Amino acid sequence: MVSALKSVNMINTATHLIDMALKEDYGSGDITTDNLIDPTLSGVGEVIAKEPIIIAGIDIFQQVFTHIDPNVVTTSGYKDGDFIQKGESILTVEGSMRALLIGERTALNFLQRLSGIATLVRSYVDLLDNKKVRLVDTRKTTPGWRVLEKYAVRVGGGDNHRMGLYDGVLIKDNHIAASGGIPQSIRRIKNKVSHLIKIEIEVSDLDGVKAAVEAGADIIMLDNMDIVQIKEAVALIGGKAVVEASGNITKNNLTELADSGVDIISVGALTHSARCVDISMKITAPV
């Protein structure tokens, strides 16, 4: 299970987003806190789950406060990926009362968003019940948040599709239309990229499946096909390519798809439709 933000890319993304979010919220100063709270006062905040969740983003929560005041300390008995019951204390944060009040909303926004994705993903993973199929996300992410949101997908137990346009070939319908067809698209891209890079192509009917197999695609994405078509496509492909199902996938048809013989199920809703979970922070006592 993913437990921390360790990659340089994730750390840099988190730092950039935190800085931007705090500037957006704090602006020229917190009129309420700056005029109400003594700068020498310290406090303790307790963060509570208001519903059952899979927690994700504890490190980022801490980083928000240390961005404001490096002396603020976060303590938790949980790690990203843990299940937390409604009403349980997720963590405590201790330090300057001004820092706690200034950073509260921004820190919770990160925690609620990432935990919301992880919680949604886990609900899909639980339905799959260890079936031999990979659940992956898509590029349907919040602009600027992709690295973090895909991290949350992994925390929830899912896997990542390509991170961006730069790290995987995926020939989609508009590429096919612009380049003259499936065989032409695959032939042209194979002559351009390294032999180490796999070629994935999106098809929407059985004729497209046949053409993709004959052209030597490594991965064939079955886009918006019904379950009957998918089973026929799997039979046609016959193990000659990795099979991915995508489009109109919900919890209602997830297990049926998993039993159809596909290798990968990609679901844009894991990120684009995840809601923020309900988490709150209460100051327990000034010290």
Catalytic residue among 79, 140, 198, 210: 140
pLDDT bin (cut points 50, 70, 90) of residue 4 is very low
Domain coordinates in residue numbering, the chain: 8-126+275-286, 130-272
Phi-psi region of 225 (alpha: psi -120 to 50; beta: other; left: phi over 0): beta
Residue 3: per-residue pLDDT? 38
Q: Using the CB atoms, write b or e for 160-180: b if 16+ within 10 Å.
A: ebbeeeeeebbbeeebbeeee
Residue 8: per-residue pLDDT? 76
Q: Which of 48, 45, 216, 249 is nearest to 136 (CA)?
A: 249
Residue 38 bears catalytic tag: no
* Average pLDDT value for residue range 107-130: 97
Residue 140 bears catalytic tag: yes
**pLDDT surpassing 60 at residue 150:** yes
Q: Give residue-wise pLDDT tens across range 204-235.
A: 999 999 999 999 999 999 999 999 999 999 99
Q: Give residue-wise pLDDT tens across range 37-87.
A: 999 999 999 999 999 999 999 999 999 999 999 999 999 999 999 999 999
The percent of residues in the chain predicted with pLDDT above 70, rounded, is: 97
> What is the bridge-based pairing of β-strands 242-246 and 219-223?
parallel
The pLDDT mean for the chain works out to: 94
Query: Is 3.20.20.70 the CATH number for 130-272?
Result: yes
pTM of the model: 0.94
3-class secondary structure for the chain? CCCCCCCHHHHHHHHHHHHHHHHHHHCCCCHHHHHHCCCCCEEEEEEEECCCEECCCHHHHHHHHHHHCCCCEEECCCCCCCEECCCCEEEEEEEEHHHHHHHHHHHHHHHHHHHHHHHHHHHHHHHHCCCCCEEECCCCCCCCCHHHHHHHHHHCCCECCCCCCCCCEEECHHHHHHHCCHHHHHHHHHCCCCCCCCEEEEECCHHHHHHHHHHCCCEEEEECCCHHHHHHHHHHHCCCCEEEEECCCCHHHHHHHHCCCCCEEECCHHHHCCCCCCEEEEEEEEC
What are the tokens at 122?
A: 């886990």
pLDDT bin (cut points 50, 70, 90) of residue 9 is confident
* Average pLDDT value for residue range 144-159: 97
**pLDDT surpassing 70 at residue 32:** yes
Residue 105 bears catalytic tag: yes
Residue 24 bears catalytic tag: no
- More confidently predicted of 160 and 131: 160
CATH code for the domain defined by 8-126+275-286 = 3.90.1170.20
Residue 5: per-residue pLDDT? 46
7 burial via Cβ count (<10 Å: 0-12, 13-18, 19+): exposed
d(CA 268, CA 284): 39
- More confidently predicted of 5 and 121: 121
Q: Which of 162, 161, 157, 160 is nearest to 128 (CA)?
A: 157
Catalytic residue among 6, 23, 50, 105: 105
Catalytic residue among 134, 172, 190, 231: 172
Residue 7: per-residue pLDDT? 72
Residue 278 bears catalytic tag: no
